[in-house]
Amino acid sequence: MTTKLSIKELESSFAKIKGLELLIGKIVEEEWDEIVGPTPYPSITDLRAWDHRLLQRYEPFYSPFCDMCCLCTFGKCDLTKGKKGSCGIDIRSQQGKIVLIACLMGAACHATHARHIVNYLIEKRGRDYPIHLGEEIELEAPLIRLVAGIKPKKLGDLEEVLDYIERQITHLLSATATGQEESYIDFESKALHAGMVDNVAMEVADIAQISALRFPKGDPDAPLVDLGMGVIDKTKPVILCVGHNVAPGSEIINYLEQSGIYGSVEVAGICCTAHDLTRYSTGAKIVGPLSRQLIFVRSGVADVMILDQECIRTDIIDEAKKVETRVITTIDQVCAGLPDMTKSPIESIVKELVSGSVPAVLIHDPAKAGEVAVKVALEIAPSRRAKIISDEQEVLDAVLRCRACGRCRRNCPIDLSIDEAVYASHEKNFDLLAQIYDQCLLCGRCESECPEHIPIVSAIRVAAVEKIRDEKYKVRSGRGPIKDTEIRKVGRPIVMGEIPGVIAFVGCANYPNGNKELVEMADEFAKRRYIIVASGCAAMDIACYKDENGQTLYEKYAGDFDAGCILNTGSCVSNAHIIGAAVKIANIFANRKLRGNFEEIADYVLNRIGAVAIAWGAQHQKAASIATGANRLGIPVILGPQGVKYRRAYLGRADKKENWTVYNARTGKEVYVGPAPEHLLYVTESKEEAIVTAARLVMRPNDTNKGRMIKLSHYIDLHQKLYGILPEDLHLFVRTEADLPLTMKDQLLKMLKKRGWEPMELPDPTLLERQIVRRE
């Protein structure tokens, strides 16, 4: 952060000064002539009015997990039946507080991830290393430009943005303490702020690593890489990276390359660090999403496991020890009670790990951790492999202890009939257990509840061993940002509604019925020529099924940001490019100014850009903060049924006509535009509901007649196909007869007339009074 000192005119005995401007802390080379908008580096309250406007239309809807507040020593306080806690809080505000805390956890994860990776890259390449995302990307950092109001040119410029983010997180966290914020609406406004800074942090992390680690730069033809538990070559030493920070994993590859042995050691990853490893080197492999952690580690395939940050099971080191996998943790967020050997000589760390006298260590230095990992893996792999015997018999013996008490099912997050499957194994029937594998989250809650201590996850692995062996898929490596040229091509058809929408599949692997539903959803929309984007664990799971030609969706569809394509932006932090694409459309297509101009751009996105995210298996707090940030920018998010456990949705009420007016910027008149988009954050119970809801939520007030007709065609068709009837709410989305799909026009018009439908005006929509050009 810089301090600016301005002296217009000063005359004293020692000097005469005129027009002096002094910036302390940083030399600013200002090359961006865009006028600074109203909210550069917005404080907690700078965008509060926008938040309240959104929250008035999309009211917070709470589903408390717990009736009580247990956050201070006054408690536990019972908040049922309208009761207040000792501090005066009621259940609504308490839920707002919990939601804010969750969003802050997520934002803090991305902020520390960004700080770690920026520090690492600055140390490696220097502060002046350029931010460069490729020849066709001039708008390199839409979210940073929008929120911070700066145009980052070098790695060092990102430090200032991170300072801002960390300051906001501290201020917001302070508001959650007892005796601070009291209003649920303002808790939500703060959650939206946390979400926004989260999104900026993601962009910081990803543009830094794309630039300095030479990841693909918006390449639609980013290489196809291997994914699945079956792609790991077990004859080689295997190093497994788990988490999100690619620094230690990239150093493993560097060391292997320097030693001339890359290819003779398998480097694989689980969760987002896996995406980023393949962006760094196509020789790396993806085991799968975070849900594969327990089952893969138990297989004993990994000789060494490197842990960095986020989404790491807290029992994974104990699990690794059981199969003699050596563990190196590398980031201060995950010290895991391990001895810090950062300053020890490499050879002595290797010796300790190889002998097993210290099976797991903490090494804060990514390069050192990388070298140690390789040396240990090479040394222990041959002898270790000989020792790891198949545990099949042990597992099969264990299932015989099952008494069908059913406690496994009752502790399963998604209520799978595990009890029946395990009990069926008594008769040597493992088919049910193998079927469970397709749906199971592999979290292990079932076995921690089992009174007979049956290793159920291991039993599932043994039952599904052939399926696991066949898990060999291709996923397109994360391409990072959307090119400016692509935005120029599709900006207009998206804003006019002629491309029916952009559907983003994002989030974790906490699915209600396995990952197949995700694949089906993505395929459905791609066939209909929506633009499909994906990131994180969802981007991996989209690859996990092959069609009749043996192709995954990434092989079937092109990787452009265009109608009927499916692209993978990359890891969690690459979500920034999905959200950033909406901002880019506003700037590149519509010439809206970005610099510190959040409210206007959010208003543009909400009213004009038919983008919707589906977080079908959202689980982590990061998914909450990412979604909440997208919501502040006007992008609706649909959650799968497990998403109800976030405890808060933002729901509109289609029947309250007064909530759905906008200003017509051309006349200043308030105009009813129908509930478009109807919700900002909505939890669906089934795949079918998610698909139809997405087709509805892509509608925007700005759609042209042709655009709305295309969107309605899909909405009607999907509604009929999946629900069996025409939509009952059609009258809310038809503005004029010209919106109606031609083939059904007469039938629909008759139906509309029965409902007393009347044509609506098509305005130049805005929620901001200051956007009104002229008043009539």
Partner 1 sequence: MSATPWQIGDIPGPKQAHILRPEVFPKIVKTLKRPLIVVGSRKEVSEDKDIANNVVIMAKSMNSPLVVSPSIFKNFMKFKDVKVVCMGIEDLVNHLKEKEWKGFDDRGNYDSILFVGGVYYFQSQMLSTLKHFAPHLKTFSMDRFYHPNAEFSFENMSEVRWVQEFKGMVEMIKSSSVS
CB of 441 to partner 1, least distance (A): 12
Q: Which of 396, 654 has the CB closer to partner 1? A: 654
* Shortest Cβ 82–partner 1 spacing (Å): 7
Rounded CA-CA distance 521/526 in Å is 9
Asked whether position 756 contacts partner 1 by CB under 8 A, the answer is no
Q: Between 465 and 722, whose beta carbon lies closer to partner 1?
A: 722
In the range 72-111, which residues lie near partner 1 by CB under 8 A? 78-82, 91-92
Helix (H, G, I), strand (E, B) or coil at 543: coil
Binding mask 715-754 for partner 1 (x = CB under 8 A): -------xxxx--x--------------------------
**How many angstroms separate the CA atoms of 426 and 216, rounded?**
51
CA-based end-to-end distance of the chain: 45
- Asked if residue 230 binds partner 1 (CB under 8 A), the reply is no
Under the criterion CB under 8 A, does residue 65 sit at the interface with partner 1? yes
Residues 472 to 531 in contact with partner 1, rule: CB under 8 A: 512
The DSSP call for residue 685 is S
Rounded to the nearest angstrom, the gap between the alpha carbon of residue 653 and the centroid of all alpha carbons in its chain is 27
Question: Closer to partner 1 at the Cβ: 80 or 549?
Answer: 80
Nearer to partner 1, 79 or 504 (CB): 79
SS3 603: helix
Instruction: Cite the beta strand spans of 656-741 per DSSP E.
Output: 661-664, 670-672, 681-683
In the 3-class helix/strand/coil scheme, how is 19-63 assigned residue by residue?
A: EEEEEECCCCCCCCCCCCCCCCCCCCCCCHHHHHHHHHHCEEEEC
Cβ neighbours of residue 498 under 8 Å, at least 6 residues apart?
A: 492, 704, 706, 707, 710
- Using CA atoms, how far apart are residues 206 and 744, in angstroms rounded to an integer? 46
Interaction residues for partner 1, span 418-457 (CB under 8 A): 449
**Per-residue x/- mask for partner 1, residues 530 to 549, rule CB under 8 A?**
--------------------
Give the distance, in angstroms, between the CA of residue 487 and the centroid of all CA atoms in the same chain: 22
Under 8 Å CB-to-CB from 519, ≥6 apart: which residues? 541, 542, 544, 545, 553
Tell me if 252 contacts partner 1 by CB under 8 A. no
Instruction: Give the pairing type, strands 661-664 and 648-651.
Output: unpaired
For residues 193 and 687, which CB has a smaller minimum distance to partner 1 in the complex? 687
Is 651 a binding residue for partner 1 by CB under 8 A? The answer is yes
Question: How far apart, in whole angstroms, are the C-alpha atoms of residue 412 and residue 440?
Answer: 9
Per the omega criterion (within 30 degrees of 0), is the bond before 76 cis?
yes
The H-or-E segment that residue 498 falls in is none
Count, residues in the chain:
776
| CA angle centred on 677, ends 675 and 678, rounded to 5° | 55
The first and second tokens of residue 134, run together, are 């490729």
In the bound state with partner 1, the residue whose beta carbon lies nearer, of 68 and 396, is: 68
- Site for partner 1 (CB under 8 A): which residue of 37, 42, 50, 62? 62
E runs forming strands in 85-161: none
Provide φ and ψ at 18, rounded to 5°. -140, 130
Pattern 667-706, binding to partner 1, x per CB under 8 A? ------------x--xxxxxxxx--xx-------------
In the complex with partner 1, the residue whose CB is nearer, 77 or 380, is 77
Q: Which residues inside 165-194 make contact with partner 1, applying CB under 8 A? A: none
Site for partner 1 in 652-671 (CB under 8 A): 653, 655
When the beta carbons of 211 and 684 are compared against partner 1, the nearer one is: 684
User: Residues touching partner 1: how many (CB under 8 A)?
Assistant: 48
* Single residue of 407, 488, 546, 731 touching partner 1 by CB under 8 A: 407
Select from 119, 411, 439, 705 the one that contacts partner 1 (CB under 8 A). 411
Binding site for partner 1 (CB under 8 A): 61-68, 78-82, 91-92, 407, 410-411, 413-415, 449, 512, 641-642, 644-645, 647, 649, 651, 653, 655, 679, 682-689, 692-693, 722-725, 728
